[in-house]
């Protein structure tokens, strides 16, 4: 058969298509549900915060079991957003799980005065997690825990608003990264 015959051209086309599609396969997200980032949780928690207190302000974001890309996985994990009220001098944790279920837990009054409001210009969790990639020594499975607050890293960055992200690694162990609220990587330990 000649290379230009219809049968050979069809075989060549099929072979090239298979090779091309295997090298250009789409990257699948680790989450198939909508949402999952810290800003998604904040959007869901805002109604509960305002119902709790009209002057509620976001003061801290904590993530537990967050995926290694900064999103909650399909199963497990949660974001906990701490809101404080200056008028009532009280604070509340509003938890948002992977399914978007919102629950509220009032905090002791003694904790209310320790929180400082977060500015509105903090970078979302996927962007903060991305800032750590070039600096990771181990291979992360997920974020064991993470926190965005002024007191998230008091020894190394006292009084500064930072993300502290502790990755659980393949093979055991963990490594922690500190990233600014605008996603600038600061340190790994």
DSSP per-residue string spanning 143-179 = EEEEEEETTSSTTTSTT--EEEEEEEETTS-EEEEEE
Local confidence band at 109 (pLDDT 50, 70, 90 cut-offs)? confident
Which of the two residues, 169 and 29, has the higher pLDDT score? Answer: 169
pLDDT (average), residues 14-39: 57
Which residues constitute the domain of residue 175? 38-188
- Per the domain annotation, does 107 fall within a domain? yes
Local confidence band at 189 (pLDDT 50, 70, 90 cut-offs)? very high
pTM of the predicted model as reported, rounded to 2 decimal places:
0.81
- Per the domain annotation, does 19 fall within a domain? no
Number of structural domains the chain divides into: 1
- Per the domain annotation, does 163 fall within a domain? yes
Q: What is the mean pLDDT of the chain?
A: 87
How does DSSP classify residue 25? P
- Per the domain annotation, does 30 fall within a domain? no
pLDDT (average), residues 90-105: 96
- Per the domain annotation, does 7 fall within a domain? no
Indicate whether 10 pLDDT > 80.
Answer: no
Indicate whether 167 pLDDT > 80.
Answer: yes
* Least trusted range by pLDDT, from 26-30, 136-140, 166-170: 26-30
- Per the domain annotation, does 75 fall within a domain? yes
Local confidence band at 110 (pLDDT 50, 70, 90 cut-offs)? confident
Local confidence band at 127 (pLDDT 50, 70, 90 cut-offs)? very high
Question: Is 96:44 a contact under the CB 8 Å cutoff?
Answer: yes
Among positive and negative, which fits the CA dihedral 73, 104, 182, 33? positive
């Amino acid at each position: 058969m000649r290379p230009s015959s219809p049968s050979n051209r069809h075989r060549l086309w099929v072979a090239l298509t298979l090779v091309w599609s295997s090298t250009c396969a789409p990257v699948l997200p680790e989450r198939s549900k909508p949402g999952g980032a810290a800003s998604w949780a904040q959007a869901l928690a805002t109604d509960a915060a305002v119902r709790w207190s009209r002057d509620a302000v976001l003061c801290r974001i904590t993530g537990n079991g967050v995926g290694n890309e900064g999103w909650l996985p399909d199963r497990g994990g949660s974001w906990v957003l701490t809101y404080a009220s200056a008028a009532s001098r009280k604070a509340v944790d509003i938890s948002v799980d992977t399914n978007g279920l919102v629950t509220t837990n009032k905090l002791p009054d003694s904790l209310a005065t320790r929180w400082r409001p977060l500015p509105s210009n903090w970078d979302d969790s996927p962007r903060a997690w991305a800032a750590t990639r070039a600096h990771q020594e181990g291979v992360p499975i997920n974020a064991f825990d993470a926190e965005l607050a002024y007191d998230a890293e008091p020894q190394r960055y006292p009084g500064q608003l930072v993300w502290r992200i502790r990755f659980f690694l393949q093979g055991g162990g963990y490594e922690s990264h500190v990233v600014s609220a605008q996603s600038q990587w600061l340190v790994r330990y």
